[in-house]
């Protein structure tokens, strides 16, 4: 069974890199350019995992994470945050129900390992 990953990232180059790496490892990947677009895609086709940025236009990652954790149908979807904000946010991510995070810049292999850890 192909696992579905939604990438919510407003940097097109980074989104394309993530998509390429995951697709080459047999994941089905869709892209959203902001949190609002991401929410619409999550509602339409519930992904197995979400990789998202925090700082995005229209709806940031914190708001999206809160919305997901408040809705029973999305509460258990693993969320991996990719951010340039740094390690000081670890406790805040835990409060928001973020499953895992990576600090930008990160290696594509590191992201792949995290995805595999959470959804196989």
What are the tens digits of pLDDT across the range 36-48?
999 999 999 999 9
pLDDT of 97: 75
- Global pTM reads 0.92
User: pLDDT exceeding 90 applies to what percent of the chain?
Assistant: 64
User: pLDDT exceeding 70 applies to what percent of the chain?
Assistant: 90
* Boundaries of domain holding 113: 4-119
Query: Is residue 96 helix, strand or coil?
Result: coil
Is the model more confident about 69 or about 31? Answer: 31
Q: Which two tokens stand for residue 21?
A: 């790496």
69 has a pLDDT exceeding 80:
yes
Look at the chain and report how many structural domains it folds into.
1
State how far the Cα of 3 lies from the Cα of 104, in Å rounded to an integer: 24
Beta strands in 42-104 (DSSP E): 49-52, 79-83, 100-103
What CATH number is given to the structural domain containing 99? 3.40.50.2300
Cα diameter, the chain:
37
């Amino acid at each position: 069974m192909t696992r579905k990953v939604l990438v919510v990232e407003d940097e097109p180059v980074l989104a394309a890199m993530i998509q390429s790496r995951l697709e080459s490892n047999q994941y089905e990947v869709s892209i959203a350019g902001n949190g609002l677009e991401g929410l619409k895609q999550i509602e339409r086709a519930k992904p197995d995992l979400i990789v998202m940025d925090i700082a995005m236009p229209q709806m940031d990652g914190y708001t999206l994470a809160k919305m997901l954790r408040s809705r029973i149908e999305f509460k258990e979807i693993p969320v991996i945050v990719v951010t340039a904000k740094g390690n000081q946010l670890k406790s805040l991510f835990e409060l928001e129900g973020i499953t895992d995070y990576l600090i930008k810049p990160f290696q594509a292999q590191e992201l792949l390992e995290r995805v595999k850890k959470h959804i196989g």
